Structure 1
């Protein structure tokens, strides 16, 4: 929607009004029929929806064609014309994502860089901690790789940690992934993910934002961003999260939107697993493998298991390595503890642990070792 129509200009102007949120705009659009009609409506007609300050500002904009806001909108139009890879879709239009349109707080406008068609694919959101454990990173990557390989688009927030692992897992499967931004579409945050964002676009995916051009990484934008992640998706998987985290906000949005919520359980000693455990207690579906999600959402996708790249056959472990894994259990454990449990000296044990790590059987996080998930 790069056509500089009166309706589009009116919409860009209206969305800058203070207090005009997504729900209010939806009500106004339903009543007046278009952004242009809203913009030209009289104060008495708009008073039930807009605050006095917004009504006064709107009148000022009508009376003053040289107002700085008009210049800002014109500059945005020029930027969009110079970036044909960015589409702008308005709520109520045919190309607005169908699932997101059903959400009560659906954004009035979406900026989409990349493949607009990616937003109509069956999507699964994967979210979690920005500082996950090694197991959390691996779970996010492998769940995303499996599901993307079978036809799901993987949607996440392009953040550090679980988000990045989920995007990367989808790309490693040759699948499609969607990044929902908490900044303007002309920015990538964090900056270190610019290459990841470029790969998402190069592989048929999309970046999405509801925020005006130039919007920076304001903290309050990210919880708002989360409702889009869940709103685009059939379900949301929380891979690993603390009790107080943005991931649980995304899960709450998913529940409000009547979408499925999945959670991967973890060690009772891992603080990053407590958020998932809390979700499970509240009714989220406990999942131990990606196939659990496929079974739940299978009706929304003709899942072709043969599309999945088969995993490499598991290596046959020696009796000594298997005994060591049994002694480790399933919780993180230190080298000193393993020495006590096994009776093996630290030097010999360190070498054995290194071999197991190279074989992909265990992972190390600081001074602790744990089984690979």
Structure 2
């Protein structure tokens, strides 16, 4: 077992710090107590020990020393978690508590009934908060996080997904196993039926591979069928994918996708959930989970879904969140395409290739520029070696616009300022000479 995969510091309310090592899926391997103070932080393995707290507190340290910087929100993280589990205490009421108690969630958790009512909280929710104190222990919640290797982010944390923070009913606390990145904003949700046809499997895999090649993060729900295919195709293509689950992160549902979930985390992706550890995958959780999928992304792609598919909930949430809707058309005789075909009639963007998505959300130029700026390991631009440049000046000119990231032929024509028919002929010659390869769906890249 690779015990050097990651290191975690956990701070208990008694003031004990545990220096720990975890396996690749975040499970505790060797806890060791050290001196310290209360709080909780996690150190991802990618950058030595990068201490990231739930209070926007971050400091990169060398592996030869242990240090901790704990922000105010981190000290109160247990109370955030405890309050977020209160039935009926949604985002709006949670903000009322924050405002009334000046961000001091410990005081809110311990407040008397009258103080809670003065904050604008109704009687039923006040009762639930008071009763919750006997069922939920803030310190106990932190300990459970430690044992499970799961991080908890509040909506004030820098690591909390920015687009998700923008929606009206953003979860106050988001649990995460794995790593979240700022570039996760460049993401698209891919969802659909649990019983796809071969056509649905194929087009999902092709589009997700193309999105991955363009540096777009794929977000889905790990369900059997289209969701799992989207995740699988993305990691197979070397891309990054995020899973939003409808249960606590101490388990994976469905169990059939346990290995896929582990691979996603091991290869730099993440599992996220608004549900606390121990929460079971109840049917009522999934419609709410779907708003996380759509809320984290620029738009939602439905590749195949029937009229009765749970995908409808993701569409409803995406529309409420003012996100784009993309649909792959299917046979009029196929029940599996009834929803997508109807949504296209009602105004959803028809998708036949990945550029239909990228153009609509303004990522075609941005992703292309990002790819062109990527340097190789020697610090040189990722271009074809000068010695291998073609003799034909037109071919050489077109080749200047091709990188290791797949680019659509239409984009190449615009970049080169040449007619599409001429570019097509030049690409054919470059492909024959082995200087470019077709990545599928009229996309070309360097070999």
TM over 0.5: yes
- Note if 1:107 corresponds to 2:171: yes
- SS of the residue 1:253 aligns to: helix
- SS of the residue 1:116 aligns to: coil
Cα distance in 2, alignment partners of residues 236 and 167 from structure 1 = 14
Q: How many residues align?
A: 304
Aligned to 1:237: 301
In structure 2, the CA distance between the partners of 1:56 and 1:253, relative to structure 1 (3 Å rule), is closer
Higher relative contact order (CA 8 A, sep 6+): 1
Aligned counterpart in structure 1 of residue 85 of structure 2, from 2, 9, 16:
16
Aligned to 1:186: 250
Aligned to 1:46: 116
Cα distance in 1, alignment partners of residues 115 and 124 from structure 2 = 15
Contact 1:119 1:232 in 2 (8 A): no
In structure 2, the CA distance between the partners of 1:247 and 1:308, relative to structure 1 (3 Å rule), is farther
Contact 2:192 2:227 in 1 (8 A): yes
- SS of the residue 1:302 aligns to: helix
Deviation at 1:37, TM superposition (A): 4.0
Aligned to 1:78: 143
- Note if 1:247 corresponds to 2:316: no
Aligned to 2:106: 36
Aligned to 1:158: 222
The one-character-per-residue Cα deviations of 1:82-106 (angstroms, maximum 9, x if unpaired) are 344x221001222211110000011
Deviation at 1:273, TM superposition (A): 0.6
In structure 2, the CA distance between the partners of 1:75 and 1:45, relative to structure 1 (3 Å rule), is closer
Aligned to 1:259: 323
Report the aligned-residue RMSD: 2.4
Cα distance in 2, alignment partners of residues 103 and 15 from structure 1 = 17
- SS of the residue 1:237 aligns to: strand
Contact 2:162 2:185 in 1 (8 A): no
Deviation at 1:227, TM superposition (A): 0.2
TM superposition score normalised by structure 1:
0.75
The one-character-per-residue Cα deviations of 1:193-219 (angstroms, maximum 9, x if unpaired) are 010001111111000011010111100
Contact 1:87 1:116 in 2 (8 A): no
Cα distance in 1, alignment partners of residues 131 and 334 from structure 2 = 56
Cα distance in 2, alignment partners of residues 286 and 279 from structure 1 = 9
The one-character-per-residue Cα deviations of 1:245-301 (angstroms, maximum 9, x if unpaired) are 221211121111111110011000001111001211222111111111121223484
* Runs of at least 5 residues in structure 1 that lack an aligned partner in the other structure: 312-373
Deviation at 1:42, TM superposition (A): 4.3
Deviation at 1:230, TM superposition (A): 0.4
Higher normalized helix content (fraction of residues): 1
* Runs of at least 5 residues in structure 2 that lack an aligned partner in the other structure: 1-8, 11-38, 41-73, 372-401, 409-447
Contact 1:231 1:257 in 2 (8 A): yes
Contact 2:148 2:250 in 1 (8 A): no
TM superposition score normalised by structure 2:
0.63
Cα distance in 2, alignment partners of residues 126 and 68 from structure 1 = 37
Aligned counterpart in structure 1 of residue 358 of structure 2, from 290, 294, 301:
294
- Note if 1:56 corresponds to 2:127: yes
Aligned to 1:285: 349
Aligned ranges 1:309-348 → 2 under 5 Å: none
Aligned to 1:366: none
Cα distance in 1, alignment partners of residues 405 and 346 from structure 2 = 32
Aligned to 2:5: none
